[in-house]
Structures are given as C-alpha cells and as structure tokens.
Chains A and B, each alone.
Chain A
Amino acid sequence: MQEAMIKRAKELLADGTVDRVIGWKKGEFVYDHTPAVFTSAQDIEENFVCDELTSANLSKYLVKETVREGKVLAFLKPCDTYSFNQLVKEHRIDREKVYVIGIPGGPKLDIEKIKAKGITGILSVKNENYTLKIDTLYGASEMPFYEAVSEKCANCKSKKHVVYDELIGEDGDVLDSGRFETVEKLENMTAQERYDFWRSELSKCIRCNACRNVCPACTCEKCVFDNPSSGVENKAAADSFEENMFHIIRAFHVAGRCTDCGECSRVCPQNIPLHLLNRKFIKDINELYGTYQAGENTTDKAPLNDYKMDDCEANVVHERGVE
C-alpha cells in the first residue's frame, strides 16, 4: 500500500493538482513515525512511510495547512475522515484546498503494548501472518499481532470513509463495536470505586497538554488553559482539583464534537485512558438525546447546539446513577 500511496502522491505533485503532501515521515526509530508535509517527489521517495505504526490522525494539521496558498494532498484513514468532516463543518478547514485520498485504516499497533512485554531496543517490527516479528538490539522476538493492537483500533467504530476524493484500497462499513464497554463497567462501580480509579489515573497527569494539542476538535486559537491568570495553567502538587478540572473541561469542550478518534489516549505519555472521558459524553449523548456521531456528515446540528422541548431534566443523572 505504501508504494501505491507514494506513486499517487508523486503523480499528483507532478501534474500540479496539489503542491504539498501531508503524510507520515520516518522518525529516529521505527516506531516514531511523525506527521510531516512533503513538497518534493524526492522527499516523498526517501522519507514517506505508511505501515502499522503510522497511527497519527492527520486532520488537525490541515487547519494550518489550508490557510496557506495552494492545495494539499492528505492521506486519511477512515477514522480521520470523521475528524476531517467535523473540522470542515466548523469552518476550520477549507475543503477546496484539500485533496483527500482515503486509505484503509488499521489495525494499527501500539508500541507501548510491545514495550510492555519487556521488548526493548526495537529495530524493526514486521507483521507476518498475524505474528509480529520484532527485531531488537538483543536479538529477535515475536508476539501475537492482536496483543499489540492499539485500543482505538481494537474498538474500531467504522471502516467507512465519510469523505474522500479518491480511494486507495476498499471502503468498509460502520462497525458495531463494543467501545462503550469500559465506560459501562465504570458506571456500574460505586462512586468510591470510580473516584479511586480516576484518582489513580488522573494523578499521573503531568499537564503536558499533549492531549489538548493533538485533539482534532481542540482548534481554538486561544485556549482557557493557556490563560496565565487562571491559576490552573500548570500542575500543582498534591491537589486533585487541577487535574479534575483540566480533564473535565477538556472533555467538556469537545463534547458533541469529539469523533472518538482516540488521539488523546494515544499521545498521553502517562497512558491515562483519556478517551474514556470523551466516550462517557458520547454515550450519554447517544442515550439521552439520540444517537449522534460527530463528523459523520457536515450538516447535522451538534447535540450541544441543539435542544428539544421534551429533553430529560438534569436529575436523570441521579436516576441513572449507581450507589
């Protein structure tokens, strides 16, 4: 697939359809492919990469890219097309300036899951018949492919591209995944258990803001968390308020707009399952106000910009709660 993508990118660059390409670039290690903008065929030939470890969502980069002159080619996985659509809907991306090529999605691998097996000094990762052959500094090792699949791909919500100009590979379907299972499990715990769970997770937060910076729904030019007089712009030790506040507000600001792309959890250096907060909102919205998938199209009204006369009252929270 990588060859097909490179070939197509070079063609489109050569015939002038686009003058930049956004894709993934090889990093220092095999597992840190980073999003990058390519402007020459040679650069693409040398550095372009797309494999099981290129999981970054490229949609957000288009916000800055489409402000510039000229057209840009973007390779989008199915889940990225949802973020793309959502950004088009919010007028953050100029659709005219992007040429979207849909590429098949995952399953992508989570390097942390490989490292968690005690495999270090990784030189290369190859998937052979769903067994990962991992070459390391200390010799070869292997593990089953599915044990290393990232959370977001294991709970894939859709293999369908909701927007594209052309496709490489085939389009899939919207899937019925069990992505709300963990949320449900938490909901069924007692308040004390939930509190303990989230304390142990959120107290790991170092306020690096990576989750906010990577989130395709967080595109405000000015962010509440950057306000130096807010008193919450950095981490305070031994204080539960800051972390709670940051994570509640972060999730709240994208409620109804979050497409559940899972980038927040992927980039978290502390491996906090942040996507669960977003999923809680999505689950509540689906259950209380009707099923809604952000980014599915560019026309539906977002649930928090909308209301019905006979919406439930806020005390449903009490009625639905577990003691």
Chain B
Amino acid sequence: MQVNENKEFQPLIVAFCCNWCSYAGADLSGTNRLNYPTNVKIIRVPCSCRVNPMFILRAFQRGADGVILCGCHPGDCHYTSGNYFTRRRMTLLFGMLDFLGIERDRTRVEWVSAAEGAKFAATMNEFTEAVKKLGPNRRLEDLRCRKQ
C-alpha cells in the first residue's frame, strides 16, 4: 500500500485585491458559499494602483507561483482613476517579465466588482488551474526564501 498518493502540485497564488471592489467581491463569493481554491492568499490593498511592481516581484521571491491583481472595473475605481494607471503599469511590467522569459501565465490582472462574487470564484479557479499546469515557479524564485 502506498501512503503518499496525493502528491499533486499545489501552487501558491497571491491575489492583490483592492479594498473597494475585489475584496468585497471575494467576501461575497464567501457569503454565497462559492468555492475557490485555498491556494489563493488574498492581500488587501487600498486600490489596485497601490501595487508597486516590486510587490509582484517580492511575491514571486517569497515563493508565489502566480500573482493576480484584482481591482474595480475601469471607470469604477474608488479613487477615480487608480486602475487606469494600474492597467498601463502592469501591462508594461508583464510584458517585461515575458520578455525575460518568465512565463506570462503566472501573472494576470482582472477587474472584479463588489457584486461579482461568482466572477471572483471563477477567476480564481481558472487562474489556479493555469498556474498548476505551469508547475512551480523556478525562473523568478529566491533560493534563500525557499522553505525547507
């Protein structure tokens, strides 16, 4: 009899969610009893544009296998225009990661409103699956941070 059967790779996903929409959306998906993977660790940020490119890299450094950034829909940002800036920034950053050969499927930006609990759960399910397929993040990891 084998003991360690369940060795399937479980990715670690970091999700940056803006306080006003996506975090509430995540909450809603919880109160609606929708399932999304436990791999997803949510970090609440005041606005999607609070996310510095360094945050994304740091997440990868500390062992994340995928990073997703969620914010209000364009036009709905609590601070009027934050997510428009996020959109440009992240487009460039992800383009650069891709340019350096780091799998572009490990990063994503998604707009989730406070009413879209179902979308939140679906997005997370889908994203986790995608990252699972890619396997562990090796190209942008910091060996010193690896858990023994």
Contact = CB atoms under 8 A, between A and B. Distances in A.
Majority-rule SS of B interface residues? helix
Given A194-B101, A311-B84, A318-B105, A249 B139 contact: no
A194 B100 contact: yes
Residue among A194, A239, A244, A315 with max Cβ neighbours from chain B (10 Å): A244
B87 interface: yes
Contacts, number: 116
Interface stretch (A20-28, A39-47, A211-219, A280-288): A280-288
B34 interface: no
B84 A249 contact: no
A277 B101 CA distance: 12
B109 A198 contact: no
Contacts of A315: 108-109
A241 B88 contact: no
Given A191-B103, A198-B101, A248 B57 contact: yes
Interface stretch (B4-12, B114-122, B140-148): B140-148
26 contacts: A194-B99, A194-B101, A195-B101, A198-B100, A199-B101, A236-B144, A239-B142, A240-B140, A241-B61, A244-B100, A244-B140, A245-B61, A248-B93, A252-B93, A277-B96, A280-B99, A281-B95, A284-B91, A289-B88, A306-B88, A307-B84, A309-B74, A309-B84, A311-B84, A311-B88, A311-B91
Give the 10 A-B CB pairs with smallest separation, nearest first. Answer: A195-B101, A307-B84, A194-B101, A241-B142, A314-B109, A317-B94, A314-B91, A314-B90, A198-B100, A191-B101
Interface of A: 183, 186-187, 191-199, 224, 236, 238-242, 244-245, 248-249, 251-252, 255, 277, 280-281, 284-285, 288-289, 303-304, 306-309, 311-318, 320-321
